[in-house]
Chains A and B, each alone.
Chain A
Amino acid sequence: EVQLLESGGGLVQPGGSLRLSCSASGFTFSSYAMSWVRQAPGKGLECVSAINAGGGTTKYADSVKGRFTISRDSSKNTVNLEMNSLRVEDTAVYYCVKGWDSGFDWFDSWGQGSLVTVSS
């Protein structure tokens, strides 16, 4: 059974930084793309970043480009999201999401989510 466990969320001031981590199990982690998808309170879904299976290709939403960095460690089965220069509008539940295969296509398993609140 696929399990995705996010950690690292919390309250941070505008301009601050936060690092989200996702621990994956139940599948061959190194064979699948991974993504972070967020959902602001009462709003829809937005993919903020994705990384392919090999880690050599990354994607970012325009709204976070230059501020967020995605990375993965296949020795630890983890995917991370480093978030800098955080803004109030980054407040959301952040989901760790497994891709269908090694590239970028669709999302087949979601974590429970980690709440990030950016507020002074």
Chain B
Amino acid sequence: SYDLTQPPSVAVSPGQTATITCSGDKLGYRFVSWYQQRPGQSPVLVIYQDTKRPSGIPERFSGSNSGNTATLTISGTQTMDEADYYCQAWDNNYYVFGSGTKVTVL
């Protein structure tokens, strides 16, 4: 089975940049999406096709994907960005999610 590996947690100060990685074999050949899940809420799509933002998602969210690693970057992190973040890709005819990264804004 295909695995997507994320760090369990990332801590960031308000106004700084948070970087969340998602690693998988030859991940750069697949499209990666990212979801934000605030405590007690349903997930929300924040990045799709590696780099694209759905309407309504702030510009401070950006994504990249190359080689074996996809990255979600939150620039100028705000307290409202404190949440769990999951990457997702498609492999062998099925959806795969990363294990999730908890972003704490200190």
Interface positions of A (Cβ within 8 A of B): 35, 37, 44-47, 50, 59, 61, 95, 100, 104-113
Q: Which residues of B contact A47 (CB under 8 A)?
A: 94-95, 97
Q: Which residues of A contact B48 (CB under 8 A)?
A: 100, 105-106, 108
Interface positions of B (Cβ within 8 A of A): 31, 33, 35, 42-45, 48-49, 54, 86, 88, 90, 93-95, 97-100
- Are B100 and A44 in contact, with the CB atoms below 8 A? yes
Q: Which residues of B contact A104 (CB under 8 A)?
A: 90, 95
Alpha-carbon gap, A37 to B48, bound state (A): 17
Chain A residue nearest to B98 in the complex (CB): A44
- Are A105 and B90 in contact, with the CB atoms below 8 A? yes
With known contacts A45-B97, A104-B90, A106-B48, A111–B31 Cβ distance under 8 A: no
Give the one of B31, B33, B43, B90 with max A CB within 10 A. B43
22 A-B pairs with C-beta separation under 8 A = A35-B95, A37-B43, A44-B98, A44-B99, A44-B100, A45-B35, A45-B100, A46-B97, A50-B95, A59-B93, A95-B42, A100-B48, A104-B90, A105-B48, A106-B33, A106-B49, A107-B45, A107-B88, A109-B45, A110-B42, A110-B43, A113-B42
Alpha-carbon gap, A120 to B93, bound state (A): 35
- Are B86 and A44 in contact, with the CB atoms below 8 A? yes
